[in-house]
Chains A and B, each alone.
Chain A
Amino acid sequence: MFESVLVANRGEIARRVIRTVRALGIKAIAVYSEADADLPYVAEADEAVLIGPAQPAKSYLDMDAVMEAARRTNARAIHPGYGFLAENAGFARRVVDDGLIWIGPPPEAIAAMGDKISARNLMERAGVPVAAGTREPVPDADAAVAAGIGYPVMVKAAGGGGGIGMSVAYDEDGLRKAYDTARTRAERFFGNPDILLERFVERARHVEIQILGLADGTVLALGERDCSVQRRHQKVVEETPSTGVGPELRSRMLSAAVRAGEAVGYRGAGTVECLVDPVAQEFVFLEMNTRLQVEHPVTELVTGIDLVEQQLLVAAGEPVTFTAVEPRGHAIEFRVYAEDPRRFLPSPGEITVWEEPAGEVIRVDSGYEAGNKVTPFYDPLLAKLCVYGPDRAQALATARDAVEAFRIEGPKTNLAFFTELLANPEFVSGDYDTGLVDRMRA
């Protein structure tokens, strides 16, 4: 195993990665922007390096600044977390070329999956089901192409991610609008103007499979996560197992995810995202995230496997710590965002009170504490509240108490939304889909 890891991220995920790195006796090096100097992850690292001003482009996205920090601290490996440079194949390549260890998949696998069009075509060839859609970029709001696929269609930025650059069109008028929106965002956020169209599945569930590519080339599937509670195409709550996936569908999805990983020579932790039609028990490939996922804790809670530890072992070329994957019980994650619980608009500000719920079946991965300032420069994730239960009903009961006990004052948070969700008959029944939050706010 290498002696030191630089964590090229911030907030809750930097803190979570640092925790495992240190527990394994490896030196943890943090990087931070001027806006983040007071955050807990900076203090908890063995060493911390200021890499620039608050704007992400001048700090966490600045490859030169991150590499210079690695050089100065003599870091042996780099863990990118999620977001920022995590899915930047050029950065991964640079880390490797500089003689450091990249804690992630090979740069070629990142590149192959980074473009949604090439990923879709690659998956189709590997025998993974994909939705009806375009096999090359669509240069304009082409009504004939959309009609050929059949409305509603999802208009997507090929280079997009995190739900940004996606719009649904129900007819020709909507298509032009959705196309313009997707195009603007594609250029602005991802520097890649390519657009694809795909059949949009209504009343679908968003279910993803955690995979782990081992050092010897074997690809394992570690179960699914249901991420159907979304606002603005972004996840808010995730749970495992999915209440919409039966045993037969699960087994087909797990094998398809393994094939997906094998098709790109995957190493380390990755996630194959799918859309599921719960009535037909069918699924299609959406995209693959070539990094650790925000919601990885729910998988950890039901399998007892520390995914960050496995990432480090795989990167070091060592065998993983487990021999079999046997998920037990039920786990749910709630993303506590600094946003108002009605309209979900961002609410930065100084945290005056921060009291986390605690207990044996509660896990809180947080990025902040009282006295910290939540700034407008980064995403609104404050903490991930995770609960475990032997079954879903008991996990829900724990969740109700934990949400009630979580006290945050200063920025507005969406905790009140979770109280509402945990009383919503659709969510409580388990029979819900990606339209749930919109229906709650209609």
Chain B
Amino acid sequence: MSEVRAEMVANVWKVVVAEGDAVEDGDTLVILESMKMEIPVLAEDPGTVVSLKVAEGDVIQEGHLIAVIE
């Protein structure tokens, strides 16, 4: 199981995957936006998205849990 967390304060611009989706290492899970920059958050391991903790438009803090991949 791997937890994907935010590296910085950001706005959730796009949620690319849904719970239950199978992902490969390097797939984009969500796209954050901070300081006029889009920052794709990638899966670091292959697996299934068992939990997705953000929605488009959310403002999240550094360390905020974005997704759990199993």
Q: Residues on A close to B: CB < 8 A?
A: 162, 164, 232, 338-339, 345-349, 375-380
Contact = CB atoms under 8 A, between A and B. Distances in A.
A347 B32 CA distance: 13
Nearest to A55: B11
A377 B8 CA distance: 12
Contacts of B37: 232, 345-346, 380
Nearest to B10: A376
A376 B9 contact: yes
Contacts of B39: 345-346
Nearest to A374: B35
Interface string B28-66: 000001111101000000000000000000010000000
**B contact face: mostly helix, strand, loop, or mixed:** strand
Contacts of A232: 37
Contacts of B36: 162, 164, 378-380
Contacts of A376: 8-11, 33-35, 59
A58 B44 CA distance: 36
A232 B36 CA distance: 12
Interface of B: 7-11, 33-37, 39, 59
Contact of B8 (A347, A378, A379): A347
* Interface SS majority for chain A: loop
A375 B37 CA distance: 13
B30 to A, nearest CB: 15
A377 B59 CA distance: 10
A101 to B, nearest CB: 29
A85 B33 CA distance: 21
Contacts of B35: 338-339, 346, 348, 376-380
B53 to A, nearest CB: 18
A238 B4 CA distance: 37
A346 B62 CA distance: 11
Contacts of A338: 35
**Nearest 9 A/B pairs, CB to CB:** A346-B35, A376-B34, A380-B35, A346-B34, A348-B9, A376-B9, A379-B36, A346-B37, A376-B10
Nearest to A348: B9
Contacts of A348: 8-9, 34-35
B49 to A, nearest CB: 23
A17 to B, nearest CB: 21
A379 B35 CA distance: 4
B65 to A, nearest CB: 18
Nearest to B11: A376
A232 B11 CA distance: 20
Residue among A232, A345, A378, A379 with the highest chain B CB neighbour number at 10 A: A345
A379 B37 CA distance: 8
A347 B35 CA distance: 8
B61 to A, nearest CB: 10
Nearest to B13: A188
Contacts of A162: 36
Contacts of A349: 9
B60 to A, nearest CB: 10
A380 B35 CA distance: 6
Contacts of A380: 35-37
A349 B11 CA distance: 14
Contacts of A339: 35
B39 to A, nearest CB: 6
13 contacts: A339-B35, A346-B34, A346-B39, A348-B9, A348-B34, A375-B9, A376-B9, A376-B34, A376-B35, A376-B59, A379-B35, A380-B36, A380-B37
A348 B36 CA distance: 12
Select the residue from A339, A376, A380 with max chain B CB neighbours within 10 A. Answer: A376
A39 to B, nearest CB: 15
Contacts of B9: 348-349, 375-376
Contacts of A378: 35-36
B32 to A, nearest CB: 9
Given A378-B35, A379-B36, A380-B35, A345 B7 contact: yes
Nearest to A338: B35
Contacts of A345: 7-8, 37, 39
A343 to B, nearest CB: 10
A379 B8 CA distance: 14
A356 B64 CA distance: 33
A339 B37 CA distance: 11
Most buried by A among B11, B34, B35, B36: B35
Nearest to B33: A376
Given A345-B8, A346-B8, A346-B35, 10 more contacts: A162-B36, A232-B37, A338-B35, A339-B35, A345-B39, A347-B8, A348-B35, A376-B11, A377-B35, A378-B35
